[in-house]
A and B are shown apart, each in its own frame.
Chain A
């Protein structure tokens, strides 16, 4: 059974999606991620989808859902590493991920979260 790893980096969690998503995997990820956010009192979640070449509306919705759940638990979500083709597909599908912050790569996403954390203090 494949599992999507969730890495802890300071006060943030890093999720790298590298396999094709399907329903069960997505449900499992949502469950594991929310558990981890609570367990480590994470303030931010980085979702890296740079190795995804194809997305569909399902993944788009899943990402929105995860972001909404994380926000409820007071953790900001940043989606990083969206490929140009993926970005175009998402826009064409009408999923522009409103309410989810985006950054070009993990570095910038991390900087964005840190900046926000500094601003809240």
Chain B
């Protein structure tokens, strides 16, 4: 048995680069996964050419059994860049991986003509080529997912920053309109910004408005109570407002104890009681219209 050396594979990659590229492009352009709406043909041609050149140089210098060596760093970097840009262009992960996998057909055709008489050699060499392309394809998918995850994480961070405004309604009165679900990470951010604002403004009452919180379960309620407790430690009373009828029902059904906290149905009610408690004086032009 001849050892699986990959010598022929290297030779083909070096000698028939142009022909391979031509065949490969033809396959890709004919395939159903082609997305002319997302990408122009010459861009695809450029990427194919670059990948083939990188594959050739990597295969020439590096080990075909392991695609994580330093010789493969160039092609890995190229694939990472490619999958990230394809993720942003709107390709699916299958379409992105197919870009690499579609090289198999032209490459295997070359191998077959090369090993016309030698079935054993052909099988060995094909196995190597198959392995290399599989690994590169899987790597592409991995990078694609990573690119997607980065996008998601960035959006999460941005949402987090946008979603916790603390506004001063009046002297000594803060309002915290919450929008979206409260998870533990967000609660932490909400708490921090609220407490910091209490320190900055010296407020004695904080109104937490949950009109924009879609559902309140035991966890969300617990987070709310934590925020209230932390604000109390800073010497500020909390009023929870904007409790919708369904949420009131859920809270009671869940057995959440909100009896220590002042609750109001609307922000207006909460504000008026906060004004009363702080004994705030309205400026004359506001209070004496009637």
Chain B residues lying within 8 Å of A84, measured Cβ to Cβ, are: 191-192, 195-196, 198-199, 230, 234
The complex places the Cα of A108 from the Cα of B229 at a distance, in Å, of: 18
A103 within 8 A of B: yes
Contact present for B235 and A108 (CB under 8 Å): yes
Chain B residues lying within 8 Å of A83, measured Cβ to Cβ, are: 199
Interface residues of B in 182-216 (CB under 8 A from A): 188, 191-192, 195-196, 198-199, 202, 204
- Give the Cβ gap from B98 to chain A, nearest Cβ, in Å: 49
Contact present for A91 and B229 (CB under 8 Å): yes
On whether A80 and B233 interact (CB within 8 A), knowing A104-B199, A104-B202, A104-B204, the answer reads no
On whether A96 and B235 interact (CB within 8 A), knowing A88-B192, A104-B198, the answer reads no
The complex places the Cα of A86 from the Cα of B232 at a distance, in Å, of: 12
The complex places the Cα of A106 from the Cα of B275 at a distance, in Å, of: 23
- Give the Cβ gap from A109 to chain B, nearest Cβ, in Å: 8
Contact present for B235 and A91 (CB under 8 Å): no
Chain A residues lying within 8 Å of B204, measured Cβ to Cβ, are: 104, 108
Interface residues of A in 84-101 (CB under 8 A from B): 84, 86-88, 90-92, 96-97
The complex places the Cα of A87 from the Cα of B233 at a distance, in Å, of: 6
B80 within 8 A of A: no
The complex places the Cα of A103 from the Cα of B234 at a distance, in Å, of: 6
B226 within 8 A of A: yes
Contact present for B233 and A102 (CB under 8 Å): yes
On whether A91 and B233 interact (CB within 8 A), knowing A84-B196, A104-B198, A104-B202, the answer reads yes
A82 within 8 A of B: yes
Our pick among A88, A97, A105 for the contact of B191 (Cβ within 8 Å) is A88
The complex places the Cα of A91 from the Cα of B232 at a distance, in Å, of: 10
Task: Give the A-B pair count, Cβ closer than 8 A.
Answer: 56
Chain A residues lying within 8 Å of B236, measured Cβ to Cβ, are: 104
Contact present for B188 and A88 (CB under 8 Å): yes
The size class of the interface chain A forms with chain B is 10 to 19
The complex places the Cα of A104 from the Cα of B172 at a distance, in Å, of: 12
For A80, the closest partner residue in chain B by CB is B235
Contact present for B234 and A104 (CB under 8 Å): yes
- Give the Cβ gap from A49 to chain B, nearest Cβ, in Å: 10
Our pick among A86, A92, A103 for the contact of B235 (Cβ within 8 Å) is A103
The complex places the Cα of A39 from the Cα of B199 at a distance, in Å, of: 35
On whether A87 and B226 interact (CB within 8 A), knowing A104-B198, A104-B199, A104-B204, the answer reads no
Contact present for A90 and B234 (CB under 8 Å): no
The complex places the Cα of A97 from the Cα of B196 at a distance, in Å, of: 20
Contact present for A96 and B234 (CB under 8 Å): no
Which of A86, A97, A104 is the most central at the interface, judged by chain B CB atoms within 10 Å of its CB?
A: A104
Q: Would you give 26 A-B contacts (Cβ < 8 Å), ordered by A?
A: A80-B235, A82-B234, A82-B235, A84-B230, A84-B234, A87-B230, A87-B231, A88-B191, A88-B230, A91-B226, A91-B230, A96-B229, A96-B230, A96-B233, A97-B233, A102-B233, A102-B234, A103-B235, A104-B198, A104-B202, A104-B204, A104-B234, A104-B235, A105-B202, A105-B235, A108-B204
Query: A-side interface residues toward B, CB under 8 Å?
Result: 79-80, 82-84, 86-88, 90-92, 96-97, 102-105, 108-109
Closest 6 CB pairs of A and B: A84-B195, A103-B235, A96-B229, A104-B235, A87-B233, A87-B230
